[in-house]
Amino acid sequence: GLPDRVTIYEVGPRDGLQNESAIVDVAVKAEFIRRLADAGLTTIETTSFVHPKWVPQLADAAELLAELDLPDVVRAPVLVPNERGLDRALAANVREIAIFASATETFAAKNLNSTLDEQFAMFTPTIQRAMAEGLTVRGYVSMCYGDPWEGAVPSRQVVEVGARLIDLGCHELSLGDTIGVATPGQVTALIGAFTAAGVGVDKLAVHFHDTYGQALANTLTALREGVTTVDSSAGGLGGCPYAGSATGNLATEDLLWQLDGLGIRTGVDLEKLVATSVWMAEKLGKPSPSRVVQALAG
């Protein structure tokens, strides 16, 4: 069956804007996030406390958070890779963070300057200290289905990394199809591999990029497997600067069109969201790749 309700985990301000070549003004980012919240999104990943040289697009993280005054119902997690990032997040009064692990050696090297083992040497003290400070910690696993340098990624390798994040205290795992190559059979198989390893579907979220146009089919498959948290990016902004073949995330509007059609509640207003993505596309000087934005804004 399908769930009655789905939580949309909005990643546009982070996964979207980190990949734009233009550096968006902090006031525009703040307005973008305010508009997303006004459209009814209650989980918005706002920015990253990563090394500013690695992702200059999000170097203004502290400034952005100081400008935001979101209602209490809105959760505003941020990406944090290490203790230095955690220090900066704590100084900005962040309550939720997301750690991001790689399932493959090559992407761990390119994205985190680490080996698979070294990434855990970074995450372990970061998660422990975050939890001692009362923060909620999400865990991402990247390259869950395919990696541009290593090809197909064995489920066993993904589950090993994900289970380790859960053991460290992550409340949720987001399974990243970083380069958007997954197809529905792989989604079913990976969720099955996690549940067989004792990580329940209630702990799993899905994160699809839409490079090969499979994101909605993959999402519906995950919903049928019992997943109720779906990551998406308003207007389909996004990608990953350290994985060249990645394009934008599943567009939140495309997701919402499907969920609304299925009668699955999200609390999000499609019209307001489309207006926000049209506004953002004007700021970026290029049209939104979302089919639903194009259809409704046309």
Check residue 210 for interaction with Mg ion (CB under 5 A): no
Q: Residue from 77, 85, 162, 289 that binds ligand HMG (CB under 6 A)?
A: 85
- Shortest Å distance, C-beta 247 to ligand HMG: 11
Check residue 177 for interaction with Mg ion (CB under 5 A): no
Number of residues forming the site for Mg ion (CB under 5 A): 1
Which of 231, 253 has the CB closer to Mg ion?
Answer: 231
The sign one gets for the Cα dihedral 59, 64, 66, 70 is: negative
Check residue 142 for interaction with ligand HMG (CB under 6 A): yes
Instruction: Specify whether the backbone of 122 is left (phi greater than 0), alpha (psi in -120 to 50) or beta.
Output: alpha
Residue at 89: amino acid letter: A
The closest alpha carbon to 207, from 89, 56, 45, belongs to 45
Enumerate helices (H) and strands (E) in the chain, giving the number of each: 11, 10
CA of residue 257 relative to chain centroid, distance: 19
Check residue 81 for interaction with ligand HMG (CB under 6 A): yes
Q: Residue from 9, 13, 14, 15 that binds Mg ion (CB under 5 A)?
A: 15
- Phi first, then psi: give them for residue 147, nearest 5 degrees: -130, 135
Specify burial of residue 91 (Cβ count, 10 A radius: 0-12, 13-18, 19+).
Answer: exposed
Pick from ligand HMG, Mg ion, none: which does 288 bind, CB < 5 to 8 A by kind? none
Name residue, tokens 């499609």: 270
Per the annotation, the verdict on 144 as an active-site residue is: no
Quote the CA–CA distance of 195 and 159 in Å, as a whole number.
Answer: 10
Catalytic residue among 103, 158, 240, 281: 240
CA 271-272-278 angle, 5° bins: 90
| Binders in 88-107 for ligand HMG, by CB under 6 A | 88, 100
Site string for ligand HMG, 143-172 (x = CB under 6 A): ------------------------------
Q: Catalytic residue positions?
A: 240
Residues that bind Mg ion in the complex, under the rule CB under 5 A: 15
The footprint of ligand HMG (CB under 6 A) covers: 15, 18, 48-51, 54-55, 79, 81-82, 84-85, 88, 100, 111-113, 140, 142, 176, 178, 207, 240, 242
